[in-house]
Amino acid sequence: MTTQTTSRDITSAPEFRLMVIAVFVFGLMAVLSPDRFLSAQNLTSMAFQFPEFAILALAMTITMMTGGIDLSVVGVANLSAVVAALILTQFSDPSMPASQSAVWLAFAVSAAMCIGAVAGLLNGALVAFFGLPPILATLGSGLVFTGFAIAMTGGSAVMGFPDTVALIGNSQIIGIPVPLILFAVLAVVLHLILTRTAFGLRVTMYGANPLAALYAAIDINRMLLKVYVIAGMFSSVAGLIIMSRANSAKADYGSSYLLLAVLIAVLGGVNPYGGYGRVIGVVLAVLSMQFLSSGLNMLQVSNFARELIWGVLLIIVMVINTNALSAVRSSLKPSK
């Protein structure tokens, strides 16, 4: 009986359904275009592409776990990249020795991470201390961050980096793309934070029942500040990857990534109302979206049809997850 119950719990979990979807999409695209989709070049290209928006989806995940959202992730990413780019162009140049440019790259990366932390601290303060709804607070702050980036660059792209910048977004370590390694490390870190720390337990508790968290004497304001600081720093990493891959930084890069980050988080089983979400679900959602996007691109499907398919996929998964959650709640009600 216990074995049957465990098997039923596994197959009814959103992560299991996402794994089935990811395998199905991969298999379907492999059958429809085996020579191109399964080529080493395409697989490597996908490994370089998806970490940009996948890391933003991780940032979105931790904020949605609290029942909030962070619509400023792209603005933070671009502002961080612009600051790093300005430092690199002002204090280094392509002709500089690799050892010196590596020092300035490390300084630029540190500055970008500080920008992400400060931006996250501002978002957290707006939500925690000023009581603003997260969707409005981060929407407004995202526009502010984008405005700062435009003011600093005049709306134009910043370019002219030393070759060492390519290490972040265009290089490989033992054949594995560095952006993929960064995504894997951040995914593991976020998983450990949410499942192996007291802070992660407080985040989940607050998202599931804010009133119970208040009665449990949780410092909610401090917890929210940490959540948005983490989201801001994750966004900065994504911005650095975008800067490196594009070999430039601009205030409006990755404008479509915001919707994609929200889509992946929800598709990955993160409850928009807070209290539930697993990093493995987000990872599977990212893979499903990348397999689908790459396959449709090879089949020369238009962008409009691609967005239609993404929307249908999101609705189907949301309906299934909602019905499953309702069934679980019904089973927990005491019988009369």
Which whole number is the average pLDDT over 67-90? 95
Residue 216 lies in a domain: yes
| 176: helix, strand or coil | strand
pLDDT for the residue numbered 327: 58
- Report how far apart, in Å, the C-alpha atoms of 265 and of each of 17, 26, 121, 259, 317 are: 15, 20, 22, 10, 12
Residue 230 lies in a domain: yes
Residue 18 lies in a domain: no
Residues paired with residue 188 on neighbouring β-strands, in sequence order: none
| Structural domain count of the chain | 1
Residue 14 lies in a domain: no
- Report how far apart, in Å, the C-alpha atoms of 164 and of each of 27, 95, 106, 109 are: 37, 11, 10, 12
Range of the structural domain that residue 56 is part of: 44-318
Residue 77 lies in a domain: yes
Which CATH number is 99's domain given? Answer: 1.10.3470
Q: What is the pTM of this model?
A: 0.91
Q: Which uninterrupted H or E stretch holds 309?
A: helix 303-332
Residue 202 lies in a domain: yes
pLDDT at 25 over 60: yes
Tens-place pLDDT, residues 221-251:
999 999 999 999 999 999 999 999 999 999 9
Residue 332 lies in a domain: no
Residue 214 lies in a domain: yes
